[in-house]
Amino acid sequence: MISDALLKMFQKALGEANVWHAATDLHTYGYDAAVVAPVRPGVVLRPTSEEALGAAVRLCNQNGLPLTVRGAGTNLSGGTVPVAGGAVLLTNGLKTIIEINEADMYAVVQPGVVTAHLAAAVEAKGLFYPPDPGSQAVSTLGGNVAENAGGLRGLKYGVTRDYVMGLHFFDVDGNLVKTGSRTVKCATGYNLTGLMVGSEGTLGVFARIILKLIPYPVHRKAIMAVFPGLAQASASVAAIIAQRIVPATLEFMDNFTIRAVEDFSHAGLPRGAAAMLLIELDGHPTQVEEDATRVEALCRSQGAASLRVARDDAERDRVWTARRSALSALAKLKPTLVLEDATVPRSQIPAMVAAIERIADRHQVQIGTFGHAGDGNLHPTILTDKRDKAEWQRVEAAIDAIFDEALKLGGTLSGEHGTGVAKARYLEKETSTGTIRYSGRLKRALDPNNILNPGKIITSERA
Amino acid sequence: MVRIETLTHLMGELEDQLVVCMKCGMCQAVCPVFSQTGREADVARGKLALLEGLMQAMLDDPEGVQRQLNKCLLCGSCSANCPSGVGVQEIFLKARAILAGYLGLSAAKRLILRGMLARPNLFDRLTEWGARFQKFISRPANDIIGTSCARVVSPLLQGRHFRPLAKVPFHRQQPSLDRPASTSGLKAALFSGCLIDKLFPTIARATLQVLAHSGVGLFLPGGQGCCGIPAISSGDLATFRKLVAHNLKCFSKGRFDYLITACATCTSTIREVWPILAATADQPAAAQLAAKTLDVSQFLVGKLGVPVLEQHLDAEKVVTYHDPCHLKKALKVAAEPRALIAANPAYRLVEMAEPDACCGMGGSFNLQYYEISRAIGRRKAEQIQATAAEVLATSCPACMVQISDMLSREGARMAIRHPVELYAEGLSQG
C-alpha cells in the first residue's frame, strides 16, 4: 500500500488527475504483451511535463518505491511488468515531437511519442526513420530505445541503437543527465547513450531522445520467392549477401506459417512450399532495378519454385500483407502465443530452422517460424493454451531448448525483444559470471536502492 | 444481493472468448476513447483484463469494471484491428448484461428502457408529445444543419446542438404498407429504426421512393419497435429480448426476400446481436431474419445492381462521406454507400482524412461521457470541414446526430444527408 502522505506528494508534483490508484487502474497496469504472470502495482503516475517526470523519479527513490517505466506496454519479455505495490510511470503524457531538423537530419522527441507517428511525420518531409518494430503502430520511442527494438529493416538499416544520437534522462535521484549531441560526431564524456540504449529502465528514465534521420529512399521493389526446400531458401539468402546485395528486408516464412497465412488470408500462397522469402530492395531506381534482376536470377539458380516481382505499389502491398499477417494468422490458431526472438549469425539460419523443427517434434508443441532471415533474427512462435498445464510445461522445455540451440550456434537469446524478466535467468549462459557481476556493480552504483525496474536484466538477488 | 462467487461463475461463460486476447496492445492504435485518455482501462485490452480479473476472482470491484465497460463506444475499431480476432463487442455486450444482472439497473435506465423503450406504442406517443412541446425549451441553432439548442441553461442538454424531433414521425406519415414485387421481382421489408422514425423521416421516405422507383415490393409492418441496442448496451437483456420478440412478430406477418434498414446501427444489431442474444426460443427466427438483413445501399448495389459509376469530376456540389463504424467495421460495407452517391451526377465525392474514424457518438456513451465524445467528434468535424464539402453524407442516423452537434457548434454551413437521400434526389431529377 502506498501511504496517503506519499500519494499527496505525487498529486502535488504531477497534478491530481495524473495519479491513478483505482482498483481498475492498478489491475490494468500489471501486464504487458509477454506471457508472464501479471503483478499489481500500487500506483500509476502519468507525468505531463519533464519537471513532473523528474519529480516522480525523485519521490520514488526517496521513498524506496520500485518504479517501472511504461510506454504502450507491448513488451515481449515482461520488461514493463511492475513490482508488486510499486509505481508504474506512464510516458504517454509526454508525446511531443519537439523538433524535426531537416538541415541536420535529426529529430528530438519526448519518450511517449508513438514510433509510427514519428515515422509518418518525418516521411512527410522526405526523411526516413527506419526502425520498424512489429508494434510500431502503438509502441513508443522511449520503449524502443529502452529495449533497443529492431524490426524488418535490420539487415540494411540496423536497429534503434543505430539511430540514437543523444539522450536526456533522469538518474534515480531525479537529476537531469545529458549525453550525446545533435551532431554526427561527438567525442565528449562517457558514451552514456550507448549504456542507456537497451537498459530497459534499470539505469535511468528518459526525458528526451535525439534520433538520427536519413533521406527517404526514392524507389522500392518487392519480390516473393517460393522454395520447395529449406536448403534452397537459405542458399538464396547466402547467395544474395555473397553478391554484396543488401536488401532493405529479407524475410522468411516456414511451411507451418505459410499454411496459417493462406488459411487466414487466402492470398494464393502455395500451401506445399517448404519456405518463402520476401525481399524488398530500396534506394536509387537504377540500382534497385538492377539488384532486383540479380536477386531474381540468384533465387532461380538456387532452385526457387516460383518468383513474383511486384510491378506496382498495389502488388508490393499484397506481398507485405502476407508477411504482416503472419503473426495474426498464427495467433488465431490457439489462445496463447509465445513469440520468441532467438537470433543466430545469418549463416546459421538453416541449422537453426532445422533445430526448431526437431525441438517442436521432440516436445510435441506447435511452432511456426518466420522472421528476419537477413539478420539471423528468427521468430519461433509457439502456439499453446496456457490453461493446459501439461502442455505449458512442454512449451517451457521447448523454449529452453531453443535458447540452448541459439547459443550453441553462436547466437543470442534475444535479437530485439529484450531480456526483461523472461530471460534474465538465462543471461549468464550467454555471457559470463563476470558479465553479470560487472552489470550488478554498475546497477548498484547507479541505483543503490534498486528501485529502477528491479528484476529486469539483472535478477534481484544479483543487483 | 447475489454473491460474488455467482458473478465469478457467470463470467466463466466468457472464458473461452477472453483467453483469445494475447495482450499485444494493438487496440491502442485505433481506440477513439483511449486516444483521448491514454488510460489502459479505457482500451479493449484493459477491459478484457478487467473481465478476466473478475472471472478469476483477482479483482473485487464489479462496479468499477461496469463503469469501465460502459466507457466504450462499442464502435468495434478494436476488433476490426485485432490480430487475434477477439470478438470484443460480443464479449462486452454479454459482460454488460451479466454485470447489470448482478448489480441491477439504475433507476433512470429502468425508467427509460423498461418504462418507455420496451413499450413501442407508449414510446411513439411520448415522442409525439415531445415534438409538440420541444419548441418551448429549445430554439433554432443552425438552419442548414437543422439543429436546435437549449433556450435556458440545461444540465441534460448542456451546450448540445441537437436535431429536434420531427413534426410528424415516419410511422404517422406511412403507418404500414404491403405491396407486391413488380419489375425487379424482389420484395423487401423495411425496418424503420427509432432515430429515422422520430428524427429523420425524410430518410425513410427517400428509401420508399427509391424502392418504388426500382420496382421493389415492400412490406412495412405497423407498430415496429426499437432494435434493442440501447437496452442491450445498458445490459438490459430482458428489454432487449422483449423488443426482439416484438419485432420478430411484426415481421413474421409478411413475406419478403430481404429486410432492409437505412440505419447502420439497426442493421448491425439485427445481423450480429439478435442471433446471439435473443431469447433461446427466438434465436432460430432471429438468425433467419438476420441472414437476409441488409443496409439499404447493400441492397440497392448488391441486389438491384445500381451501377458503380466513375466520379463526376465536373459536378458542382462537393460531398464527403463518413463511414459509420457499424457499417464499415462491423459489416465491411463501404463501397456501396459511395456508389449511391456517385449515382447522382450532381455530386462529386471528396474523401476526408480517415473517413472511417469513429464520430464519438456511441449512444448512451455520448450522454455519460459528453466531454470525451465531443473531443472525438471535434476531430471528425475538423476532418469533414477540411474537405470544404457542402454536404456531409453518412449512413447512420446516430452519426448524423453527433456530427450535427459538432458541425453546428463550429458554425459550419453544411447539410447532413443520407446516401439514399442523395440517390433519391438524383432519381427525381433524372
CB neighbours of B347 closer than 8 A, spacing ≥ 6?
A: B312, B315, B317, B318, B319, B341, B391, B422
8-state DSSP, B171: H
Q: What is the pLDDT of residue A44?
A: 98
Contact B170, B414 (CB under 8 A): no
Instruction: Kindly state whether A137 is in contact with chain B, defined as any CB-CB distance less than 8 angstroms.
Output: yes
Q: What are phi and psi of B91, to 5 degrees?
A: -60, -45
What is the tens place of the pLDDT at every residue in B77-98? 999 999 999 999 999 999 999 9
Interchain contact, B40 vs A46, CB within 8 Å: no
**Can you name the residues that pair with A167 across neighbouring β-strands?**
A179, A209
Instruction: Kindly state whether A370 is in contact with chain B, defined as any CB-CB distance less than 8 angstroms.
Output: no
Nearest chain B Cα to A114, which residue? B29
Interchain contact, B84 vs A332, CB within 8 Å: yes
Which residue out of B16, B17, B22, B65 would a mutagenesis test of the A interface target, given it has the greatest number of A Cβ atoms within 10 Å?
Answer: B22
Q: What is the pLDDT of residue B36?
A: 96
How large is the ipTM?
0.94
Q: Which CATH architecture has domain B4-104?
A: Orthogonal Bundle (1.10)
Residue A263 confidence (pLDDT) above 50 = yes
Q: What is the pLDDT of residue A459?
A: 84
Q: How far apart are the first and last CA of chain A?
A: 24
Residue of A181, A270, A208 whose CA lies nearest to A233: A270
Computed over every residue of chain A, the mean pLDDT equals 94
Interchain contact, B24 vs A73, CB within 8 Å: no
Task: Identify all chain A residues contacting B65, using CB atoms and an 8 Å cutoff.
Answer: 24
What is the tens place of the pLDDT at every residue in A171-217? 999 999 999 999 999 899 999 999 999 999 999 999 999 999 999 99
Residue of A59, A41, A36 whose CA lies nearest to A449: A59
Cell of B198: 422520430
Cell of A317: 502491398
With respect to CATH, is domain B171-303 assigned 1.10.3470? no
Which residue out of A14, A18, A27, A75 would a mutagenesis test of the B interface target, given it has the greatest number of B Cβ atoms within 10 Å?
Answer: A27
Please report, as a single letter, which amino acid is at residue A237.
V
Residues of chain B with pLDDT under 70: 1-3, 308-311, 430
Which residue out of A24, A92, A113 would a mutagenesis test of the B interface target, given it has the greatest number of B Cβ atoms within 10 Å?
Answer: A24
Interchain contact, B85 vs A25, CB within 8 Å: no
Question: Minimal Cα–Cα distance from A75 to chain B, Å?
Answer: 8
Q: What are phi and psi of B151, to 5 degrees?
A: -75, -40
What is the tens place of the pLDDT at every residue in A350-406? 899 999 999 999 999 999 999 999 899 999 999 999 999 999 999 999 999 999 999
Interchain contact, B38 vs A25, CB within 8 Å: no
Q: What is the pLDDT of residue B9?
A: 83
Task: Identify all chain B residues contacting A386, using CB atoms and an 8 Å cutoff.
Answer: 19
Residue A281 confidence (pLDDT) above 50 = yes
Nearest to A31 among B20, B23, B59 (CB): B23
Q: What is the pLDDT of residue B155?
A: 75
Interchain contact, A33 vs B22, CB within 8 Å: yes
Task: Identify all chain B residues contacting A387, using CB atoms and an 8 Å cutoff.
Answer: 19
Nearest to A138 among B29, B50, B60 (CB): B29
What is the tens place of the pLDDT at every residue in A432-445? 999 999 999 999 99
Percentage of chain A beyond pLDDT 90 is 85
Task: Assess whether the region B4-104 and the region B317-429 belong to the same CATH fold.
Answer: no
Q: Where are the domains of chain B?
A: 4-104, 171-303, 317-429
Instruction: Kindly state whether A72 is in contact with chain B, defined as any CB-CB distance less than 8 angstroms.
Output: yes
Contact A326, A267 (CB under 8 A): no
Q: What is the pLDDT of residue B1?
A: 46
State the DSSP string of A128-146: E-----TTTTT-BHHHHHH
Question: Minimal Cα–Cα distance from B147 to chain A, Å?
Answer: 34
With respect to CATH, is domain B317-429 assigned 3.40.50.1860? yes
Cell of A24: 481498475
Interchain contact, B49 vs A335, CB within 8 Å: no
Q: CA-CA distance, B346 to B316, in Å (whole number)? A: 7
Task: Identify all chain B residues contacting A22, using CB atoms and an 8 Å cutoff.
Answer: 41, 64
Interaxial angle between packed helices A313-331 and A255-265, expressed in degrees from 0 to 180 and rounded to the nearest 10: 100
Other CB atoms closer than 10 Å to residue A341's CB: what's the count? Answer: 23
Q: Please compute Rg for chain B using Cα positions.
A: 21
Q: CA-CA distance, B427 to B430, in Å (whole number)? A: 5
